[in-house]
Amino acid sequence: MSIAQNQKGKVALITGATRGIGLETARGLGRLGITVIIGARDARNGVAVVNQLKQEGINAVSVKIDVNEIADHGAVYDYIDNNFGKLDILINNAGILLDVEDISGNIVNRTSTLPIELIRETFDVNFFSQIQFTQTLLPLIRKSEAGRIVNLSSVLGSLTLHANPDAPIYSFKTFAYNASKAALNAFTIHLAHELRDTPIKVNSVHPGWVRTRLGGGSASMDEAEGSVTSIKFATLPEEGPTGAFYHQDDQLPW
């Protein structure tokens, strides 16, 4: 899948961008000449990352954004509006995985006993806050000539694969996380349909199994490899897909 040729002058915001896949996504987009806005829960971490990226020749700024803090949503909108007047790329990268059995990361299906508070907390970060933040920034994305919204999902959000005993993810039943990603995929489909007659493309992406705090140390991909799909879908050409679910060039089942 190709990348649109002209990225100069574009502005991208990545949530959860001070480490892991988010940071590598910012680095990859910055190398294409895109101005990257580092979304950081801790403002000091955001400044440190920006200084690091600037040393690499990347044009970067940071904003404080805790996706659960609605006041931050409005502040980010105002910052982008006042400084750039538009937003070309929104990457909803922030997310949490809470429903593991123990500190070693063993996965046990606890659907019948999983505390409802844990499910709500997961959905607040992985679903409700993503919707609200996207809705807040959408007027700025509409000002872009080719807006791109990338929702960081997971293959674990695929209902088709979870229902298939032969699928490699069949035993990975982390209910809160999986359900929140399935719901995020539904948001992708519905928003893409609403925006189908505009230049804006909305897609869900699975980064792969990546060695991060969330993915664990046994994962098969490093963080730079995990950023590849986000970068591709942030820079889709006009003929690229919308309302789809991909890992790199492979379309995934819902």
Task: Count CA within 13 A, CB hemisphere, residue 69.
Answer: 12
Q: What string of DSSP letters covers 160-219?
A: HHHT-TTSTTTT---HHHHHHHHHHHHHHHHHHHHTTTSS-EEEEE---SB-STTT-TT-
Give the C-alpha separation, 35 to 144, whole Å: 14
Q: Which residue type, as a one-letter code, is found at position 61?
A: V
DSSP 124: I
- Annotated catalytic residue, options 77, 79, 170, 177: 177
Residue 182 and residue 155 in contact, taking contact as beta carbons nearer than 8 Å: no
Taking the C-alpha atoms of residue 242 and residue 189, their distance in angstroms, rounded to an integer, is 8
**Spatial distance between the Cα atoms of 26 and 31, rounded to a whole number of angstroms:** 9
| Residue 177 a catalytic site member | yes
Active site residues: 177
